[in-house]
Amino acid sequence: MSTTNCNNYAVFAGEKSRPLAEKICKSLGCQMGHMTTEHFADGEFAVFYEDSIRGKDVFLVQSTFPSADNIMELLLMIDAAKRASAHYITAVIPYFGWARQDRKDKPRVSIGAKLIADMLGSAGITRLITMDLHADQIQGFFNVPVDHLYASSIFLEYINKNLSLETLTVATPDVGGTKRANTYAKFLGVPMVICHKSRIRANEVAEMRIIGDVEGRDVLLIDDIVDTAGTITKAANLMLENGARSVRALASHAVLSNPAMERIEQSALTEILFTDSIPLKRTSSKVHILSVADMFAEAIRRVCNHESISSLYSI
């Protein structure tokens, strides 16, 4: 890995993303900057940088998962850094929330991802580093450079080291993830199957069927976000009912709203892999967390040194 001068930049974190930021700083070999978030009785809060950041390249680590306090805290961090005369302000958002609202798919609906992009731009970011956006086109919502990282290199390393399965088949739990699953299947040189689903409403699957053959196969479901875990556990159970030998899953972002953990524990899944883009509230014997800290640390190094980031991607 390349090195950089810690005097030229500083890394800060919002309250909920501090565990990941601490690991990023450890990988960078620098101390995390000191910042205080002061809470008021009515629920408002304010941020204050205890260290001077005048003329520095500032990296602000904060995933924007629920609640909305996380995005608000990030906006205040950006504004405070701008007013403290930071040279560059890079928002490091491992999980970019509201990304599922990336288009107008029905009348009179908001495009939440574009709104968040506009808010971040207005607050004053000069660059965004994020990972596994729900839709790639969200990069175009920003008027600043976007470094879009992929957790595939971390997942593939784990698969190659720990899953020596001769009958591996990659699957997608819905048609929207076909491109993502197909990329994994091509890289691993294994077949792919698709789950086709229809929804009654958000987070509620009405019907699902498999396109392809899973008989006697070890299936690996690929997804980007697991929220209530309804889709991925229903797909896993369906795979087993159709003759799969085992079913595993991986997803970049563990949103895990209730009753996700219970569904995972009761499902046919042998194992499910997540990254630490969102801190895990509960643990399970079926859940395994892989850290993206080194990947983000290397991205920060390369941004500081004006080096290419594309070589970080496996697929």
- pLDDT tens across 77-111, in order? 999 999 999 999 999 999 999 999 999 988 999 99
Q: What SS3 state is found at 103?
A: coil
Query: Alpha-carbon distance 104 to 206, whole Å?
Result: 22
CB 88 within 8 A of CB 58: yes
Query: Alpha-carbon distance 208 to 141, whole Å?
Result: 32
Which residues of the chain, if any, have pLDDT below 70? 1-7, 198-206, 314
CB 144 within 8 A of CB 129: no
**Active-site position among 56, 114, 197, 234:** 197
Q: Where in the chain is the domain with CATH 3.40.50.2020?
A: 9-149, 152-290
Q: Is the pTM of this model over 0.75?
A: yes
197 is catalytic: yes
Query: Alpha-carbon distance 149 to 152, whole Å?
Result: 9
Strands 204-211 and 192-201: antiparallel
* Exposure of 186 in the CB half-sphere (CA atoms within 13 A): 8
The predicted pLDDT at position 175 comes to: 85
- Which ranges constitute the DSSP H helices of 87-151? 112-123
Is CATH 2.70.98.60 correct for 9-149?
Answer: no
Query: For the segment 177-207, what is each residue's pLDDT rounded down to a tens digit?
Result: 899 999 999 999 999 999 987 655 655 556 7
Assign a CATH topology to domain 152-290. Rossmann fold (3.40.50)
- Which ranges constitute the DSSP H helices of the chain? 18-28, 69-83, 112-123, 152-162, 178-188, 230-241, 260-266, 293-304
